[in-house]
Every structure is written in C-alpha cells, then in structure tokens.
Structure 1
C-alpha cells in the first residue's frame, strides 16, 4: 500500500536523488541538486508550489509531483517517477500524480477567480515513457527547446577581449543603492523590458512585478550582479533597450557555470547587436569568475532564427526538451 504525504526538509536529499536518477537514466547526466529541491519544498519558493510525495510500503520514494502557480492562467507541473519502477507500477502512479496536478491547477485557478487555466509540463525529447504519461493525462506536445551551452575561455575575461557594443548601445549591471541593496527602479526596468520583449512570443503570460521578483529571488542561483540592462544612448537620456538575467549553476558544490534565464530586446532596439552585447557581457563575467561554461535555452520552433545567433557565438546543443500543455476548463459551480 502506497504512503502519500507532503515532503518536508527531511525528504530533500531523497527527492534530489530521485530527480538525479531520472535525468541520468534519460540523458546520461543530471543537474539535480538538494539546494534547488530545497528551494521548491521548504524555501521561499514553497509559497507558490504544492507537492505530493508517494512512498512504497518499504519507505522507498516512488514518485514526486509538484505544481507552481506560475502566472495568471498558467500552472506549471512536474511529475517524476523512479526510473527503476516497472511500467505496470509506474503507469498508474504517473496517472494518479498527473490527475492530482490537474486538480491542484484547477484549485489555483479558482483562487485567482479564473474559469480556466493552462497546465504546463514537459519532458526530455529522449524520454518516451514520460511522453506517454503526458499524452495519457491529456497534454499535447506544443514546443521543443534546445538546451545549448558554450565553453568559456579564461582570456575572454580580459579587457577588450570581446567585441564592444555598437555605437549608441551601452551595457551595464542593475544599479545598487548605497547600502548594497539592488535599486528597485532598475529591477522594474528589467521586468518592463522582458514583458514587452516577449509579449508576442510563444506562451507569453503576463506576470506582475511582484510575481516576477519573488520567483527569481527564490532561485538558489540568483545573484543581483548577474542582471544586465542594455540602453540606447544615441542622444538625450538613456532608454532601456534590452535585459539579460542570469543565474549560477552548480550551486551544490559542482563546477559553477552561468545560465541565461532571460534575454530580451525591445522591438525598437532590434538589429543593433543588443542581444550579442548582453551575451558578451555575461561571457566576460563568467570568465572573470573562473567559470568554464555559459548555458541557455532556445525555442527550436521559433521563426526568429535566434539559434543562428547563439551558434555564431559558439553555443551548441547539449540536449532537447519539450513543452506539453492542456487547457483546463473548470466546471461551473
């Protein structure tokens, strides 16, 4: 008989190990860490997450599901099943956990006063078992994402080692106050830039500043000195043109790298090398910190051809992930 519970701090190491086994079984390596699991289960990020942990009679962890209230009309969920579990046991467990996730998503939507919401999950492209469970739960594959990385050379941290921004474009980190705290005005500028830059992009959902601020602050890899603003300085006051938000990977003691969480450029600044200059700023910073890798995610199905920019800068695809969605319409009460 299975034991169902809500995970606590005592379960973090075991959940990280479950995630590590799953990722390793599918793609041969894993980025799972107790620090990142703790942020979801017990850290400040727990406020927007709900969890369900399933154990066997012997106390062994069999499955873990979580849902996140990501934005108005969008709930993200993940279901992880022990890879060593046979299909006759894994299939019904996955179905039960996805059904639980859908119920939680509906509950979140009701609390927001919505009549429907998107349930957003995913899988590795080389994981047919997870894909089968997603399809049986009523989700469909809607997008592929290339997970790309680029090696960083120590000399790239030297002054003038990388090309400077084009004339009229300036790159800077977000400002800090005299007491060392981040300048809220700059954080709001980053939020505004990203909201405008992605408004027409795939699966864009409006996220309030408070939601944006809380979500990124709760990432264990968050660092304020990994946020950059691009500005146009042709004439008159500087105007925001783009933004890059990065995080630290390998925060559990593994080799550190830098990862691009967001890179957006406003429409009126496109074609001026803004995205390239922001990436060069991150690469130089990574080199100065002694890191050997910068990573990012790119929409494999985007018509913008963004992957060509990344390839030209030395990025290559390490593996591919998929987004799976369904629209949940809540029954009227």
Structure 2
C-alpha cells in the first residue's frame, strides 16, 4: 500500500493519540496522551498548522506524525523543539531519516519567519526506553545535551512538611502576575524562553487540564514571588501533574518551593488523587530535585534532550 505525506490537521488528534498508545506498548514511558492533550498541541500558537506538522499515511491509516515548535526568543540561539511518533509496525531507518529531513526543512522555514539570521538548533526529547527514536536521532547527528528526570510521589505516604511561608490559592486575578513570575523564575533554566500571554493562557490557565484549586502562590504585595501550578494530563486516573514550580531569587532560601509543593500535594490528596508526577532538569541550578525528594518524590525514569545545530554555528 502506498505511503503518502500530507499536512497534519487538527482532526488528526485521535489518530495521533492512538500512535502514542501503540508506542507505549513496546517502549513504555509512563505517559498517557489523551485526545484532548493532543488537540491542545495541534492548536498551539508555537506550531502553526499546516506548516508545522506532517502526517505520514498508509491508505487511510496514520502511521507517523511529526511537529516542530518555534520559540519566543533567540538568545542568541533559536532552539526549536521537534517531536514525532511512528507506529511500531512501521519503524525503519529510512522513515526515521525522512522524518529528520522534514524536521530541518519545516523548522528552517518557520525559523526564517521569526528569527532570520539567528543560529538555529533543533531539540528532541527521547525517553530512556525509546531506543529506536534515540538511535534515529544519534545517526542524524543529534547529541544528548541534557537529562530530565521523571519523578512521582505516592500521595498516601507524604512526609510531614512544615510550611515556612503562607501559600495563597491561585485565582484568575493573579494570571498576569503569575506569568511574569514564571518567566523570571525560569530565565536561568536550560533552553527556557518567556511565555507570552497567549502561550501562558494556551498551555496553562486556559488548558482544559489546569487545576487552579491545586495551584498555589507566594505573594509580596501584588507581586507573585513563588508559584506551583498543577494540571491534569493524559488519561491516567488519579494522577496530577506538578507542571511548574518557580521561585524568584529574592524568595529563595525560605522554603517557599517546598511549602507550596506540599500545599499542592495535600490539596490533591484531599481531592482524591493518588499520585503526583513532575519532571526536573537533572542539572537544575537551584537544586530542585532535592526539594522534591524532601516532599516525597522519587525518580521513576529519565528523558534525554538531543540537540543538533542546523545553521549559524
């Protein structure tokens, strides 16, 4: 049967979710991707369709997809994210190489529209169990530049944590102050760029999975100086995602992150959640992994960020 390549569409969300489910059966990552989650990705302002996505189809069946995402800054390098999933029955070196070629061509076009002349670098994440994809990236000249640890906490066995600050539940009136604090707190983080109001609303406060009653802030007058924002993603029952934890430099050393995370975990347990998960940069300069360990989190797996300079180096 003939394999064809076409533009990825928003109505491909269910088929893409099925691809991830098929991949999970042979290379488990512990992640579950719901149709709603995929739909949000396909509607992301970072990845304007049809230019930012491709579908590989055999007959009327989706066998692979790929996307690229532009960033809001090039300081000084534009680090674009790329991703794909191929059905286990259709994985081959040839298809992998074709997807990498698509990464470069599609990313270069989007890059030229937003940061012409700036160096371009592509970043792809592969779980430690996704050996086929990692091998494709390696053969394509991508090198591992960072490792992200998956962590999980059993909410039935939380350690006692004394709050050293006064957490304030998130409210919509704090949205812009929270966005500004998040951008400032993550300014030093690896490959992080600022979230515009549009992106912050799309990925966080406007997301169908955002859990405002499980999200907490530390305020200084009308400023947010520390935050914990939680979401529910995927189809996993009883699991909450601690998506963002950030503390401004002026609030560090006071136990703010630990206090806010503990408040979020206790609230999640009261809501009936059984487990909390998060991802943390293994080289986080603020020592975040140790904070999470004190809150009851343990490492459950790793993702490796692979990067390849494309132009300007």
TM value normalised by structure 2 = 0.87
Per-residue deviation, 1:18: 0.9
Aligned to 1:297: 279
Aligned to 2:113: 111
Pick the aligned partner of 1:316 from 289, 298, 301. 298
| Structure 2 gap ranges (5+) | none
CA deviation string 1:253-310 (max 9, x = no partner): x413211111011112111110011101111221121111111111123354322222
- Counterparts of 1:17 and 1:84, CA distance in 2: 13
Show the 5 A alignment for 1:104-183: 104-115=106-117, 116-153=119-156, 163-166=161-164, 169-175=165-171, 182-183=172-173
Pick the aligned partner of 1:76 from 74, 78, 81. 81
Matched, 1:271 2:273: no
Pick the aligned partner of 1:257 from 224, 227, 239. 239
Aligned to 1:35: 36
Structure 1 residues 226 and 119, CA gap change in structure 2 (3 angstroms): farther
Aligned to 1:190: 178
The alignment partner of 2:292 has SS state of: helix
CA deviation string 1:54-78 (max 9, x = no partner): 122x443321101122323232110
Per-residue deviation, 1:130: 1.0
Show the 5 A alignment for 1:191-230: 191-217=179-205, 219-230=207-218
The alignment yields a C-alpha RMSD, in angstroms, of 2.6
Per-residue deviation, 1:217: 4.5
- Counterparts of 2:100 and 2:137, CA distance in 1: 8
- Counterparts of 1:217 and 1:91, CA distance in 2: 40
- Counterparts of 2:232 and 2:21, CA distance in 1: 19
Q: What is the number of residues matched between the two proteins?
A: 305
Aligned to 1:26: 27
Residue range with higher mean Cα deviation, 143-152 or 204-213 = 204-213
Is contact 1:24–1:30 with CA below 8 Å preserved after alignment?
A: no
Per-residue deviation, 1:103: 1.6
Structure 1 residues 71 and 238, CA gap change in structure 2 (3 angstroms): closer
- Counterparts of 1:188 and 1:301, CA distance in 2: 29
- Counterparts of 1:193 and 1:99, CA distance in 2: 38
- Counterparts of 2:53 and 2:189, CA distance in 1: 30
Is contact 2:47–2:69 with CA below 8 Å preserved after alignment?
A: no
| Structure 1 gap ranges (5+) | 176-181
Structure 1 residues 148 and 101, CA gap change in structure 2 (3 angstroms): same
Structure 1 residues 46 and 292, CA gap change in structure 2 (3 angstroms): same
Is contact 1:44–1:218 with CA below 8 Å preserved after alignment?
A: no
CA deviation string 1:4-43 (max 9, x = no partner): 12244553322211111113311275412222122223x4
Is contact 2:177–2:223 with CA below 8 Å preserved after alignment?
A: no
